[in-house]
């Protein structure tokens, strides 16, 4: 019996897209699914009740940030992440690897793990598969991730090969160290932008038999075509009866293209981050709310949108005013809008899969863009 399982419900006829259910200790969730990011144990500006209302069932929290502050021991003492942040839905924690490797000069990789300096106070820190698993067990998320290296782009073949082999060894160590029965550990396919390394990585992970697999190291600066090619190679090696999670991707076009290539799960800071910068996502355009053109625009962000902001009649002119006046309620309104927009988009995507009409859905999506 594993904490996490994937139930395949329908395979779309014309693509590799699939619809299913992700079963977790904190609920069963329809896939494809988008997980809002709650980096530091809170989705910025949004309450758990608002997340539920807009249709989010599972959120991602970052091990790196929580490891540094407030520390995993404190979260454990509080009763785990769910209790700490008052969230009874699903939680996924990443391994901390991605953030650590993003530190660049501030970290040093050995076979044992990674030594790095905290971005908060410069203190020396260490993460390894074992430390990451221990931390993630204390945090207590439903889905936890193996400790991996996210290979930068571009990277030469030798570097990518060495790194990918180490990620496989680290996946082994992660699996050995993850002893909690209430958490499901996902392996992460790496391999840089090299087809053979992607295949090798996927195969080695599949042999270890994880309850789910992530595809990492994509959307890191490479051309879209290359990303989709590598995604296709990666998912082609993954078993049909396990969930597949593309890390760090969160725009409608990426959703469509990735779902077509067999992806079930997504997370990204994009919708929440751009909201705080004053951008609203819609099916036809991206609204930069501070622009003068919205000064007298007494329409809602998107017609027929059922998000909190739109259904209650908050206008572009009002939200623009809030942003110009540095009022945080503006950030909240745009964040709620963008998150609801993506949840609704995902629901429509799922319906297109069940109807075997994903290609039509895709065409319509691109046709509607201004």
Interior/surface letters 93-108, b for 16+ CB within 10 angstroms, e for the rest: bbbbbbbbbeeeeebe
Q: Which is nearer to a second copy, 8 or 317 (CB)?
A: 317
Q: How far is the CB of 47 from a second copy (least distance, A)?
A: 7
Q: How far is the CB of 320 from a second copy (least distance, A)?
A: 8
Q: 200, 196, 195: which is closest to 187 by C-alpha? A: 200
Q: How far is the CB of 324 from a second copy (least distance, A)?
A: 7
175-178 own/partner pairs: CB under 8 Å, 24+ apart: 175/146, 175/208, 175/210, 177/129, 177/130, 177/133, 177/134, 178/133, 178/136, 178/137, 178/144
Residue pointed to by tokens 């399982």: 5
Q: How far is the CB of 325 from a second copy (least distance, A)?
A: 5
Q: How far is the CB of 40 from a second copy (least distance, A)?
A: 5
Please tell me whether residue 181 adopts helix, strand or coil conformation.
Answer: coil
Q: What count of other Cβ atoms lies within 10 Å of the Cβ of residue 242?
A: 20
Q: How far is the CB of 328 from a second copy (least distance, A)?
A: 5
Given 53, 142, 267, 356, which residue is catalytic? 267
Q: How far is the CB of 312 from a second copy (least distance, A)?
A: 6
d(CA 203, CA 280): 40
Q: What count of other Cβ atoms lies within 10 Å of the Cβ of residue 198?
A: 28
Q: Which is nearer to a second copy, 83 or 203 (CB)?
A: 83
Supply φ then ψ for residue 25, to 5 degrees.
Answer: -65, -15
Q: Which is nearer to a second copy, 75 or 231 (CB)?
A: 75
Copy the structure tokens of residue 174: 């992660």
Q: Which is nearer to a second copy, 83 or 108 (CB)?
A: 83
Given 94, 142, 148, 264, which residue is catalytic? 94
- Whether the Cβ atoms of residue 133 and residue 147 lie closer than 8 Å to each other: yes
Please tell me whether residue 333 adopts helix, strand or coil conformation.
Answer: helix
Q: Which is nearer to a second copy, 1 or 325 (CB)?
A: 325
Residue count (the chain): 370
For the question of residue 306 being annotated catalytic, the response is no
- Give the helix ranges, DSSP H, for the chain: 48-53, 63-68, 72-77, 81-84, 97-102, 129-139, 157-177, 195-208, 224-236, 252-259, 270-276, 308-311, 316-324, 328-354, 358-368
Q: Which is nearer to a second copy, 43 or 352 (CB)?
A: 43
Q: Which residues contact 344 (CB under 8 A, 6 or more apart)?
A: 55, 305, 306
For the question of residue 88 being annotated catalytic, the response is no
Residues that bind a second copy (CB under 8 A): 40-42, 44-47, 65, 69-70, 74, 77-79, 83-86, 295-296, 298, 308, 312-315, 317-318, 320-322, 324-325, 327-332
Q: Which residues are annotated as catalytic?
A: 94, 267
């Amino acid at each position: 019996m594993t904490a996490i399982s994937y139930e395949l419900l329908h395979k779309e006829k014309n693509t590799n897209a699939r619809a299913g259910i992700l079963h977790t200790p904190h609920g069963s969730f329809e896939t494809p699914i988008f997980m809002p990011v709650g980096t530091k144990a809170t989705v910025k500006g949004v309450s758990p009740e608002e997340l539920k209302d807009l249709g989010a069932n599972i959120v991602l929290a970052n091990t790196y940030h929580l490891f540094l502050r407030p520390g995993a021991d404190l979260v454990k003492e509080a009763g785990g992440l769910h209790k700490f942040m008052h969230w009874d839905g699903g939680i996924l924690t990443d391994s901390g690897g991605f953030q650590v490797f993003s530190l660049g000069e501030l970290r040093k990789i050995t076979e044992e793990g990674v030594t790095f300096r905290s971005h908060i106070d410069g203190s020396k820190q260490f993460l390894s598969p074992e430390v990451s698993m221990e931390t993630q067990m204390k945090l207590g998320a439903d889905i936890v991730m193996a400790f991996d290296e996210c290979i930068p782009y571009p990277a030469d073949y030798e570097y990518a090969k060495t790194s990918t082999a180490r990620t496989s060894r680290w996946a082994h160590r992660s699996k050995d160290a993850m002893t909690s029965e209430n958490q499901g550990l996902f392996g992460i396919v790496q391999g840089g932008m090299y087809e053979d390394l992607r295949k090798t990585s996927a195969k080695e992970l599949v042999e270890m038999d994880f309850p789910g697999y992530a595809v990492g190291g994509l959307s890191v600066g490479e051309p879209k075509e290359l990303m989709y090619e590598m995604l296709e190679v990666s998912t082609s090696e993954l078993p049909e009866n396990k969930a597949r999670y593309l890390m760090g991707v969160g725009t409608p076009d990426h959703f469509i293209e990735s779902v077509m290539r067999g992806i079930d799960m997504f997370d990204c800071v994009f919708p929440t981050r751009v909201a705080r910068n004053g951008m609203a996502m819609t099916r036809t355009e991206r609204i930069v709310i501070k622009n003068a053109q919205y000064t007298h625009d007494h329409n809602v962000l998107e017609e027929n949108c059922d998000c909190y902001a739109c259904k209650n009649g908050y206008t572009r002119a009002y939200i623009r005013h809030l942003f110009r006046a540095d009022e945080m309620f503006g950030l909240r309104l745009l964040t709620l809008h963008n998150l609801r927009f993506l949840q609704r988009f995902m629901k429509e995507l799922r319906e297109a899969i069940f109807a075997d009409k994903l290609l039509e859905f895709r065409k319509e999506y691109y046709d509607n863009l201004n």
